[in-house]
Structures are given as C-alpha cells and as structure tokens.
C-alpha cells in the first residue's frame, strides 16, 4: 500500500496519460483531414504509446495493491492552424507531462517511496526523448512549406513509423 496522496497523484498521472492519448488521436485526425496520412500515422502511434504509458501506471498501482481509478476525459483540441501548430501543441503537451512526472518524483522522494522512484525513472528518460523529438520536428517544419516537397517527404517517413514495443 502506498500513502494516499501518492496513490492519488499516480492515479492522476494514469489519467493524464490517457488524456494525452486522446489528444494525439485528435491531432492525427487533423492530419487525416488534410490527406497527410504519414503524419496521421505518426500521431496515432503517439496515441498508442501514451496508452501504453497509462497502462504502466495502471500495472504499477495494481502491483502496489492500489486501485487504478478512471476519470472523465476532456474534449481535446480539434482545430489547428497548420502542421507547425500541431507539433508545437505536442511539445507543450509533453512539457506538461514532464512537469507532472517531476512532481511525482518529488512527492515519492519526500515520502521515501523508493519503489515508486525506481518506477518513475523510466518516465524521466522517456520524457527527455519525447521533448527532443518534438523540438527536432519543430525545427524541421519551421524551415519548410506545408504540402511542399520536403513536407511530403516527412509524411512518407512518418508513414513507415511503427509502434515500438
């Protein structure tokens, strides 16, 4: 059993990860509507990855003899000005997730919950990778025209992306 405040915080992050998956599905929909199916694939895979992250929290809570509690989802943003707007929103979302993970680490450290600290180590590394990936995408997209040759090359590149297990 974990301290109540830590269980509540872990459950909140479990739900945050599900919400992030929901948001990435909406971003995929934006690209599908534009006919950029590679970008849509990229975001659908991001959505699936966030669901995998949520299930890591689910399993951890169960392992620690706590109950995962699902909360209501909020409607994600569905309208974007352009591809850059989507990717910038993605980076902002990942920064928010990182901040939440850091708060969890601080709480677990304060409570001397070493198992939780060990569990959260993976998420710290993952968040570093996620933020870098979106920063790199922003750099690439800022220098090109949406729908242009290089953008379509990126779309083809993203079409080949598969879920890493």
Map out the domains of the chain as residue ranges: 4-159
* CA gap 144, 126 in Å, rounded: 28
Return per-residue pLDDT of the chain as tens, 165 residues. 899 999 999 999 999 999 999 999 999 999 999 999 999 999 999 999 999 999 999 999 999 999 999 999 999 999 999 999 999 999 999 999 999 999 999 999 999 999 999 999 999 999 999 999 999 999 999 989 999 999 999 999 999 888 776
What letters, b where the CB count within 10 A reaches 16 and e where it falls short, cover 70-104? Answer: eeeeeebeeebeebeebbbbbbebbeebbebbeeb
94 known member of a binding site = yes
126 known member of a binding site = no
Residue 133 CB coordination number (10 Å): 16
Distances (CA, A) of 133 to 57, 95, 137: 23, 12, 6
CATH number, span 4-159: 1.20.1260.10
Residue among 133, 137, 131, 142 at smallest CA distance from 154: 137
Q: In the chain, which residue ranges form alpha helices assigned H by DSSP?
A: 4-34, 37-63, 83-110, 114-142, 149-159
* CA gap 122, 117 in Å, rounded: 10
pTM, two decimal places? 0.93
- pLDDT computed for residue 143 by the predictor: 87
- pLDDT computed for residue 165 by the predictor: 61
Handedness of CA 38, 45, 128, 4 (dihedral sign): positive
* CA gap 22, 48 in Å, rounded: 9
């Amino acid at each position: 059993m974990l301290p109540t405040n830590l269980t509540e915080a872990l459950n909140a992050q479990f739900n945050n990860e599900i919400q992030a998956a929901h948001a990435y599905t909406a971003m995929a929909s934006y690209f599908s509507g534009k006919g950029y199916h590679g970008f849509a694939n990229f975001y659908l895979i991001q959505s699936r990855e966030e669901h995998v992250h949520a299930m890591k929290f689910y399993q951890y809570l169960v392992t620690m003899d706590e109950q995962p509690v699902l909360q209501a989802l909020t409607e994600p943003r569905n309208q974007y000005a352009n591809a850059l707007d989507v990717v910038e929103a993605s980076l902002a979302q990942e920064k928010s997730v990182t901040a939440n993970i850091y708060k969890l680490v601080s709480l677990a450290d304060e409570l001397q919950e070493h198992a939780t600290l060990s569990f959260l180590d993976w998420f710290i590394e993952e968040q570093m990778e996620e933020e870098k990936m979106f920063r790199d995408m922003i750099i690439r997209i800022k220098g090109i025209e949406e729908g242009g040759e290089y953008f379509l090359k990126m779309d083809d590149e993203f079409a080949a992306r598969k879920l890493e297990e």
